[in-house]
Amino acid sequence: MKCQRCGNNKANVVYKQIINGEKTELFLCDKCANDLNLGMNFTFDFNDVFGAFFEEPTFVKTLEKQKNEICDVCGTTYDDFARTGVLGCENCYKVFANKLDNVLKRLHGNNRHVGRKIEKAKVLKDVKVKSKSKIEKLKEKLQEHVKNEEYEKAAQVRDEIKKLEAKDMERGE
Amino acid sequence: MSWYLEDGKDSDVVISSRVRLARNIKNIKFPRLAKEEELKNVLEMFKTNKIDKNLHFIKLSDLDTVMQSSLVEKHIISTDLLKASFGGILLNDDENIAIMINEEDHLRIQVMKPGFNLGDALGDALELDDKISEKIEYSFDEKYGFLTACPTNTGTGLRASVMLHLPALRITGKIGRVLDVVNKVNLNVRGVYGEGSEAVGDLYQVSNKTSLGLTEEEIVNNVEGIVKKLVEQERKAREYLKKQGLDFEDKVYRAYGSLVYAKKLSYLECAKLISIVRLGINMGIIKEIDSKKLNKISVFTKPATLQKCLKKEMTPEERDVERGNLIKQIIEK
């Protein structure tokens, strides 16, 4: 059998991993096993076992992805997280969002927060920013239509803008 | 009076209730990766910002090791906080509100209540949470809720736990099965101070496993529901023991005799005796001592708290003798 990683050399190391009862086997050559630190110097570490919970079921997939995934704020890699079980900063939640969605689901059976939120005032502020930017975009569109003398389209956009502004007024902004 | 000496609702079985909220401060890396300067700033934030007039700021490095260990023994702080390089506490005089600073997360807001009272503990914790969020902006995400270092706490950041005294379930051999059931309903149960399910002094802690996808109230209700069942089961087991009459009373009084008259008592033996005597008091067998005195004995005989109380450091052998003396003093008072 050929090594499943490089596809060239003969595979003589079997790497077995069991995550949540799901067994994955990977057949590797000596060189690839060494590259992945799975050879004779493979150390058994409690954190590695605990970390398996956070890893993706397919080992190969994790290897391919982890290279680009590093938090630009604290420098934590997904591999670090899988090993230690802890994240480095709030930005990690954004960087690893795709994988964390699954991790959180596995841990909690759910991945959407329904508990208390941070003060309503702050949330409203966010909404305001969003709708303002939408209005701004529409205003740019309006200018463009006027410039191109597309007056019918311009009128439609103007009505849309009025509607959004009325909404903001209702919220007391 | 310190909260841990008092009795509360269902105190015959439930020792205490606790609520913990994990919070982090926006734009500061979580403590494990934060720079020294950032951690110092977090400490300073709580030293200068008065969150609540009843809370005192304590820098952990200002306490000696006996004081630190005593706080751990009383479950006011965790051993992890002792390892933190810039740890701090906001603590009230009753010691039932303790906010740990720079542990795994920037803040761990904890409220403890005697007996079975998770509702009030949650109410107080959320009130503190509001007060803090007026002054400091938290790491919060609309989708994931409160962001924590460990994803097991993400969302509400809430851990609701109850400490139970379950000696009759152990004596009647039912404890293993009962605990298996609790573990199956998505709650954690573990022996206090003990390894795995082996609990010193028959004390067990039940808490929620998940913190995301449920509201704070739902999480507390889930824990309460199971604790109610455990209380029922323990009381049933006690009824069964009561039917043994004199044989059981003899066992209880022998434990009482050893606790009161022993000249040397190790911590472990003491904890076991306290468990049986507590059972005797709550079953109405022992009337010579009340539960408040026993609470006092239970807290002050722990190694570090004993040394703090007697204001001297001692070897384990010296402690065993002083432990016996202290018990006599408390009983005679």
CB-nearest to A74 from B26, B33, B137 is B33
pTM of the model: 0.74
Q: What is the dihedral sign for C-alpha A44, A50, A54, A56?
A: positive
Tally of CA atoms within 13 A in the half-sphere of B8 that contains its CB: 22
B180 CA: distance to closest CA in chain A (Å): 19
Q: What would you measure as the largest C-alpha separation in chain B, in angstroms?
A: 65
What is the rounded CA–CA span in Å between residue B50 and residue B45?
Answer: 9
Which pLDDT score is estimated for A66? 46
| A66-95 residue pLDDT tens | 455 899 999 999 888 888 889 999 999 999
Lowest mean pLDDT among A112-121, B163-172, B234-243: A112-121
Cβ count within 10 A of residue A147: 9
Q: How do B97-101 and B107-114 pair as beta strands?
A: antiparallel
A11 CA: distance to closest CA in chain B (Å): 37
**Which residues touch B198 (CB under 8 Å, ≥6 apart)?**
B191
**Which residues touch B110 (CB under 8 Å, ≥6 apart)?**
B18, B19, B20, B21, B76, B97, B98, B99, B100, B125
Q: Are B92 and B115 in contact (CB under 8 A)?
A: no
Structural tokens at position A166: 């009325």
CB-nearest to B151 from A87, A115, A116 is A87
Which pLDDT score is estimated for A7? 76
| B289-321 residue pLDDT tens | 998 899 989 989 988 888 888 888 888 888 899
Which pLDDT score is estimated for A127? 43
Asked if B213 and A114 come within 8 Å (Cβ–Cβ), the reply is: yes
What is the rounded CA–CA span in Å between residue A119 and residue A155?
Answer: 38
Asked if A115 and B214 come within 8 Å (Cβ–Cβ), the reply is: yes
Tally of CA atoms within 13 A in the half-sphere of A142 that contains its CB: 14
Which residues 122-151 on chain A approach chain B with CB closer than 8 angstroms? 123
What is the rounded CA–CA span in Å between residue A27 and residue A7?
Answer: 10
Alpha helix positions (H), chain B = 36-48, 65-73, 79-83, 118-135, 167-171, 175-184, 216-242, 246-261, 267-282, 291-300, 303-310, 316-332
Average pLDDT score over residue span B214-237: 94
Q: Across the strands, what pairs with B140?
A: B146
Chain A neighbors of B151, CB-CB under 8 A: 54, 85, 87, 100, 103-104, 107
Closest CA to B193 of B220, B169, B163, B213: B163
| pLDDT tens per residue across all 173 residues of chain A | 777 777 778 777 777 666 656 666 777 777 777 666 554 433 334 444 445 555 555 444 444 454 558 999 999 998 888 888 899 999 999 999 988 998 999 899 888 999 998 864 444 444 444 445 677 788 888 888 888 888 888 888 888 888 887 776 665 54
Q: What is the ipTM for the molecules in this complex?
A: 0.84
Q: Taking CB atoms and an 8 Å cut-off, how many pairs form between chains A and B?
A: 104
Asked if B147 and A114 come within 8 Å (Cβ–Cβ), the reply is: no
Which pLDDT score is estimated for B184? 83
Which pLDDT score is estimated for A133? 63
Which pLDDT score is estimated for B70? 87
B127 and A CB contact within 8 Å: no
Asked if A119 and B147 come within 8 Å (Cβ–Cβ), the reply is: no
Q: Are B303 and B319 in contact (CB under 8 A)?
A: yes
